[in-house]
Amino acid sequence: MNRYLLVFISLILFAGWAPAQQYWDIATYDGSPYANVSVRDLRGDTLVVSAMGREHELSIFRIASMKMETPSHTGSGLLLGALAGGAVSATLLTTSSTNAPVDAGISDLGNGLIIVGGVVAGGLLGGFIGSSHEKTLSFPREMSPEKRRRRFERFLKNIQQTKP
C-alpha cells in the first residue's frame, strides 16, 4: 500500500514538470539591457532573440554577458527528499537483523529517531537540489572572434537540446 502511495505522489508531482522556456538577461558593452529575452537563432555573427513578441538582432561582439535564472522547485525537492529519506531509512531498519522492529509498526524510540533523521536529511538535500540556480555566461572584450563564435555556437546547441 505504501509503495503505491509513494508512486502516486511522485506521478502527481512530476506530471507537470516539463522543461520551461529559458529567459535570459543580456548585458552589452554599450550598456543596452535586454531583459527576459528568449534566444531564437544564431545567424553568422548575429544572435536573434525574442522579447514580448518582437525579434531583435544582436551582434555577438556587442554582448558582454548573458544571465539565466532557472525556476525554483524547492518545495517539491523538500517533499520528495523527505519521502525518499524516510523510505530509505525505514527500509534499512527493517532489513537490518539487529535493529528490526518487532512488528510492522515502529515501537522503539531509537528506530523512530533514525527514520526522522532520514526524513530531515533527505528533505534538506532535496530542498537544496531543487532551489533556483543562476547561470551566467561572460564574453570578455579580448576574446578572439573565432573563440567567441565557437562559444555562441556551443551555447545555442546546448539550449536547443533543452527546449520544450
pLDDT higher than 60, residue 145: yes
Alpha-carbon separation of residue 163 from 40, 56, 130 (angstroms): 11, 20, 19
pLDDT category at 147 given cuts 50, 70, 90 is very high
**Which among 14-18, 61-65, 66-70 has the top mean pLDDT?**
61-65
Give CA–CA dist 117/39, Å, rounded. Answer: 44
pLDDT category at 46 given cuts 50, 70, 90 is very high
Whether the model clears a pTM of 0.75, i.e. scores above it, the answer is no
Average pLDDT over residues 51-57: 88
Tell me the percentage of the chain whose pLDDT exceeds 90: 12
Collapsed DSSP state (helix, strand, coil) of residue 136? strand
Q: Please, what is the average pLDDT of the chain? A: 75
Q: What does the block give as the cell for 158?
A: 546546448
Tell me the percentage of the chain whose pLDDT exceeds 70: 70
- Structure confidence at residue 55 (pLDDT): 92
